[in-house]
Structure 1
């Protein structure tokens, strides 16, 4: 399983997770382990497939032993003509692609919330509180000095980030309001 996201220093980090079966007596167990982070600024399906193949080779994992691949639904990953999954499949026809169900659920939640004007207004207000602080290192420093916690930007697809954003705001709502009123006066 491979997914990429920019880290706090704006470097695209590609995460590799390996899922495999172990057998004890007559029982099989699914094991899942983090393998590595790899910096990746390349975005085409072929480039990502080559990164995957290189990384597996580095760790001594033959592609011939792989039976599945899981990514998000982005075209460069899931595309059936030029997506990473298709390039991997061309190398090993037994390495079947399965879209990430959690990612699909997140996208469904994001689309559903976008249809609800109350949700759009609410999350828009949360982002509006975040923006002025995040756009100024001085304000961000004052925020940390006075409140001791930070705000988080909203993610378009990661609902756990939205929960964290609302949680910080909920815990310190009066403090944020007081701090902001000091800025505008």
Structure 2
């Protein structure tokens, strides 16, 4: 059933809409740095990546970020950072899992994905935040432990939830 283009397109649309809705569930992980908010919206693009492939997972990421930008955010930099985080997590997870589609490679993918997204977003924030907030790099460095920790926590939660539901969701599309 997952080979049907109509099913694939409809599923991408539904997953994008659900992921957009999940972006509204924002919970601060570190109250002292309240601009870093957890939302479970990256679970659905990851599921789409497992079911249909990485391009479709990225498409769900892109659609949910565009919809959230239009519906609520209005912050193009924040949305672009969210997209970069989602892609830097999704790609390692899916490609490592595809090496050998079993639970061990899935878990290795999650671990590598969490490490990659934490590193990528730490570096990206060092570049973007000083320009966006118009603050010196020295001031930005205070936030880097929070940024790295936030991404590690957020995407670890996303990985655990996805690991718990992935097989059940994939069975629907067989």
Q: Same fold (TM over 0.5)?
A: no
Larger RCO (alpha carbons 8 Å, 6+ apart): 2
Interval of TM-score (by shorter of Structure 1 and Structure 2): under 0.3
- Structure 1 or 2: larger helix share? 2
TM-score, normalisation: structure 2 = 0.27
TM-score (norm 1): 0.26
Answer 1 or 2: which has greater strand percent. Answer: 1
